[in-house]
Structure 1
Amino acid sequence: MNETIVCTVGNVATQPVYRELASGPSARFRLAVTSRYWDREKSAWTDGHTNFFTVWANRQLATNAAASLSVGEPVIVQGRLKVRTEVRDGQSRTSADIDAVAIGHDLARGTCAFRRTGRAEAGAAGPPDRPEPAWETTAEGDGPEATHRPAEPAAVT
């Protein structure tokens, strides 16, 4: 409940690694996030420190991320931040992981063509097929066949 939710903007640093696990699909990749600042002495934008995060995706997000992302592409990642410290061979190591909820290309830096994934995928349990709802708004007191249309503009004389 009290989790740290982050939204990061950076570049894909490693090719996503996709795995089929007993619990479902999983994918991971490294995300490079570099700060930029205006250097007054140089009168130019300068790169600051780069932070690296391991991004973890599960289920359909993992499948789509593995099929969509390539090294160097600008992305936006939203998810739960997990900072871990472990000791290996007497040395303390700290890593920062993001358990992704959403991943998308950064459209401020390029274009993207979105394609929905099919529902007929093996093991995908989607909602049952239902007929398309009637999206027209009905006026109160009218039958379901009558649609509500805005009034015609008054004639100006």
Structure 2
Amino acid sequence: MTDTITVTGLVATEPRHITTQNGLTITSFRLASNQRRFDRSQNAWIDGDTNWYTVTAFRQLGMHVASSVRKGERVVVAGRVRQRDWQSDTNKGTTIEIDADTVGHDLTFGRSTFTRTVKAASTTSAEGEGAPGAEQPTGAETQSAPEPVAAEVEAGAPF
């Protein structure tokens, strides 16, 4: 059974981006999620405990998180949750990790601009271009798709 979770919070560390020797892209950051509630007796919002998560994004999502998310921004993260116990020479503790399926800015607190990336289409011919084992497009060969103009959105134009 896979446990999934959706968390909103503040990016507490600058995202750390690595590419493994096998070419796997990984980006991780710490997420602080504050529990707030309205106290009617005080007529004010009160901060509760802060829950801390380590968020990890892989492959294409990892590349996009590395180029889009910064420390101090509010985000929404959904993914698979894991609890890991750890121990060092002097301490021991528990870390909650989220393997992200999706990460986005929390638009409750600001605006964001979306830029779609599209992989260049590979061609297929008798010479074997586009065949298995042929060179695949790289991230450098991606391009932005045009965003619809307001009139297209209002007219209900398909995307």
Shorter chain as denominator, the TM-score bin is 0.7 to 0.9
Aligned equivalents of 2:33, 2:45: Cα separation in 1: 16
Pick which of 64-73 and 39-48 moved more. Answer: 39-48
Aligned equivalents of 2:25, 2:18: Cα separation in 1: 6
Cross-structure match for 1:67: 67
Cross-structure match for 2:19: 20
Cross-structure match for 2:138: 122
Q: Give the deviation of 1:23 after TM superposition.
A: 4.6
Specify the SS of the correspondent of 1:86. strand
Aligned equivalents of 1:47, 1:91: Cα separation in 2: 28
* Residue identity opposite 1:119 in structure 2: K
CA RMSD of aligned residues (A): 1.9
Q: For structure 2, list consecutive stretches of 5 or more residues without a partner in the other structure.
A: 121-136, 143-159
Cross-structure match for 2:134: none
* Residue identity opposite 2:15 in structure 1: P
- Which has the greater radius of gyration? 1
Pick which of 87-96 and 8-17 moved more. Answer: 87-96
- Cα deviations across residues 88-130 of structure 1 (Å, max 9, x unaligned)? 2263311010000000111122111100124145169x9xxxx
Aligned equivalents of 2:77, 2:58: Cα separation in 1: 14
**What TM-score do the two structures reach when normalised by structure 1?**
0.73
Aligned equivalents of 2:65, 2:13: Cα separation in 1: 12
Specify the SS of the correspondent of 1:62. helix
Cross-structure match for 2:34: 34
**What TM-score do the two structures reach when normalised by structure 2?**
0.72
* Residue identity opposite 2:119 in structure 1: R
Q: For structure 1, list consecutive stretches of 5 or more residues without a partner in the other structure.
A: 127-157
Aligned equivalents of 2:67, 2:90: Cα separation in 1: 39
Specify the SS of the correspondent of 2:104. strand
Q: Percent identity?
A: 40
Aligned equivalents of 2:19, 2:111: Cα separation in 1: 30
Cross-structure match for 1:102: 102
* Residue identity opposite 2:44 in structure 1: A
Aligned equivalents of 1:91, 1:68: Cα separation in 2: 34
- Cα deviations across residues 55-95 of structure 1 (Å, max 9, x unaligned)? 00000000000100011111000000010112222633110
Say how many residue pairs are matched.
124
Aligned equivalents of 1:106, 1:64: Cα separation in 2: 16
